[in-house]
């Protein structure tokens, strides 16, 4: 039988540019971020020097074109960088994730040329962005938001409160969703660019969280904030499209964050089980432990394949909504399971802050909650498969 000339390209095979950014991000995480992780977690605050270093590394504007002073990279490059950073600290991983997969992507897709020229160079080089959709009464029901916007000449006057806003303390540019006509329901939602320092806009309560503690999660107050019409992103009344379609991409970023957590827990488990001795030999020599490590490796690889597949589909401009929901759902499950297994393998040491795995466990829980709960991902998947079946 003649041999077939078939070239196999594994889904996890990276391009040269993707591999270079992955390696650079991994080195940055291991050498610069890792020594700061415990202190930042205890203080519940990002080290300000890290923020500057992220911009210097080009990690805050990966997909922003070079003409706007960005890296001119791909979506997949953002994903592998988020994964590598989150492998060491998911608090820092979500900091760059929100910037790249939510804020920057929204500006790139929906911004006019004038908007892009004004804001993208800032987002690429010096200013942190925040994505402001959630409110007290609008979580999974995202379009039940009460934040209002009333037209006033060449501006809109915004009033309301936003909750659970990631990067709020560090951000200077806030993408705020408000309704200009509540009677029209979601058809009145509009995306406004609110800038720090605008009169009536303030950062309020900072949440004291279980995990990703160094990442700031705050309440925002908008009291008669006058936002020029020039600061509207996309079309008036079409903010729901901006929100939905940006979050679809953002879920892949959360998937990358979760496989980063899972990888960190797995790496720590491999290292510890080789070093820890009981009954005269390393616990990695016991078959029961080997089975657990093998299970972790399989589930991590499955989660990574789902995340990378969704990212590749998005890059190829193919339908990816179902795949993004699957990636986020399953990677969150795997991150929580693997970090829990890591604690079991560490025993008593896994339960104390001297070792890293208890933090991986705390950080993993958010994956089932933000940017669409696990139940919402299952609902999305079910709707699509029933429609297509």
Q: How much is the mean pLDDT over the chain?
A: 96
- Report the percent of the chain where pLDDT is more than 70: 98
CATH classification of the domain holding 46: 1.10.540.10
CB 26 within 8 A of CB 14: no
**373 and 255 part of one domain:** yes
**357 and 286 part of one domain:** yes
Supply the range of the domain harboring residue 113. 16-128
Q: Is residue 280, in this structure, part of any structural domain at all? A: yes
**139 and 65 part of one domain:** no
Sign of the four-CA dihedral 39, 45, 48, 54: positive
pLDDT of 4: 54
Q: At which of 128, 146, 175 does a domain end?
A: 128
**363 and 379 part of one domain:** yes
3-state secondary structure of 376: helix
pLDDT digits (tens, 9 = 90+) for 327-383: 999 999 999 999 999 999 999 999 999 999 999 999 999 999 999 999 999 999 999
pLDDT digits (tens, 9 = 90+) for 42-80: 999 999 999 999 999 999 999 999 999 999 999 999 999
| Neighbouring C-beta atoms of residue 210, cutoff 10 Å | 11
Q: What pTM was computed for the model? A: 0.96
Beta-sheet strands, E only, within the chain: 128-132, 148-152, 155-166, 171-179, 189-195, 201-206, 217-228, 232-233, 277-278, 281-282
Q: 211 is written with which tokens?
A: 């995990």
**124 and 143 part of one domain:** no
**290 and 322 part of one domain:** yes
**228 and 275 part of one domain:** no
Q: Is residue 333, in this structure, part of any structural domain at all? A: yes
**87 and 162 part of one domain:** no
Q: 384 is written with which tokens?
A: 């699509």
**246 and 368 part of one domain:** yes
Q: Is residue 245, in this structure, part of any structural domain at all? A: yes
Q: Is residue 43, in this structure, part of any structural domain at all? A: yes
Q: Is residue 9, in this structure, part of any structural domain at all? A: no
**247 and 233 part of one domain:** no
pLDDT digits (tens, 9 = 90+) for 281-311: 999 999 999 999 999 999 999 999 999 999 9
Q: 298 is written with which tokens?
A: 């399989």
Distance in angstroms (rounded) separating the CA atoms of residues 116 and 107: 7
The CA–CA distances, whole Å, from 325 to 62, 279, 331, 341, 368 equal 23, 45, 10, 24, 11
| Statement: residue 5 has pLDDT above 70 | no
Phi, psi (rounded to 5 degrees) for 155: -145, 175
Q: 199 is written with which tokens?
A: 């009169």
**202 and 264 part of one domain:** no
| Neighbouring C-beta atoms of residue 10, cutoff 10 Å | 8
CA 211 to chain CA mean position, Å: 14
Nearest to 321 by CA among 257, 379, 369, 362: 379
- Residue with the bigger pLDDT between 8 and 190: it is 190
Alpha helix (H) residue ranges in 276-320: 287-315
Q: Is residue 67, in this structure, part of any structural domain at all? A: yes
Q: Is residue 6, in this structure, part of any structural domain at all? A: no
**141 and 280 part of one domain:** no
3-state secondary structure of 230: helix
Residues involved in catalysis = 371
Structural domains counted in the chain: 3
Q: At which of 185, 210, 237 does a domain end?
A: 237
| Statement: residue 183 has pLDDT above 90 | no
CB 126 within 8 A of CB 70: no
| Statement: residue 262 has pLDDT above 90 | yes
pLDDT of 2: 55
CATH classification of the domain holding 173: 2.40.110.10
Q: At which of 221, 237, 253 does a domain end?
A: 237
| Statement: residue 3 has pLDDT above 80 | no
CATH classification of the domain holding 276: 1.20.140.10
Alpha helix (H) residue ranges in the chain: 16-28, 37-43, 48-57, 75-86, 90-97, 105-110, 113-125, 239-275, 287-315, 321-346, 357-364, 374-388
pLDDT of 138: 87
Q: Is residue 10, in this structure, part of any structural domain at all? A: no
Distance in angstroms (rounded) separating the CA atoms of residues 193 and 242: 13
């Amino acid at each position: 039988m003649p041999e077939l000339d078939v070239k196999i390209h594994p889904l996890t095979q990276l391009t040269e540019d993707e591999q270079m950014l992955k390696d650079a991000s991994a080195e940055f995480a291991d050498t610069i971020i890792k020594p700061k992780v415990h202190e930042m977690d205890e203080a519940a605050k990002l080290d300000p020097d890290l923020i500057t270093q992220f911009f210097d590394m080009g990690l805050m504007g990966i997909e922003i074109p070079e003409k706007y002073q960005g890296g001119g990279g791909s979506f997949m490059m953002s994903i592998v960088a988020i994964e590598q950073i989150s492998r060491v600290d998911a608090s820092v991983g979500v900091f760059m994730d929100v910037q790249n997969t939510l804020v920057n992507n929204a500006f790139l897709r929906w911004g006019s040329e004038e908007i892009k020229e004004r804001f993208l160079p800032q987002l690429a080089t010096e200013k942190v962005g925040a994505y402001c959709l959630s409110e007290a009464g609008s979580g999974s029901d995202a379009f039940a938001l009460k934040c209002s916007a009333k037209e006033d000449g060449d501006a809109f006057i915004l009033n309301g409160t936003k909750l659970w806003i990631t990067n709020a303390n560090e951000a200077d540019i806030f993408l705020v969703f408000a309704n200009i006509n509540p009677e029209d329901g979601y058809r009145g939602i509009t995306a406004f660019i609110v800038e720090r320092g605008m009169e009536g806009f303030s950062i309020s309560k900072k949440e004291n969280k279980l995990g990703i503690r160094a990442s700031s999660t705050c309440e925002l107050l908008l009291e008669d904030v006058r936002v020029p019409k020039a600061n509207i992103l996309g079309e008036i009344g079409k903010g729901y499209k901006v929100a939905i379609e940006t979050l679809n991409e953002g879920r892949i970023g959360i998937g990358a964050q979760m496989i980063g957590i899972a990888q960190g827990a797995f790496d720590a488990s491999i290292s510890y089980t080789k070093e820890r001795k009981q009954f005269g030999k390393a616990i990695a020599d016991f078959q029961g432990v080997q089975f657990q490590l093998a299970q972790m490796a399989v589930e991590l690889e499955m989660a990574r394949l789902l995340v990378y597949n969704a990212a590749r589909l998005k890059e190829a401009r193919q339908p990816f909504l179902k795949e993004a929901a699957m990636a986020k759902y399953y990677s969150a499950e795997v991150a929580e399971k693997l970090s829990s297994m890591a604690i079991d393998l560490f025993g008593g040491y896994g339960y104390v802050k001297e070792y890293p795995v208890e933090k991986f466990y705390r950080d993993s829980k958010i994956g089932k909650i933000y940017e669409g709960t696990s139940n919402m991902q299952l609902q999305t998947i079910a709707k699509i498969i029933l429609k297509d079946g």
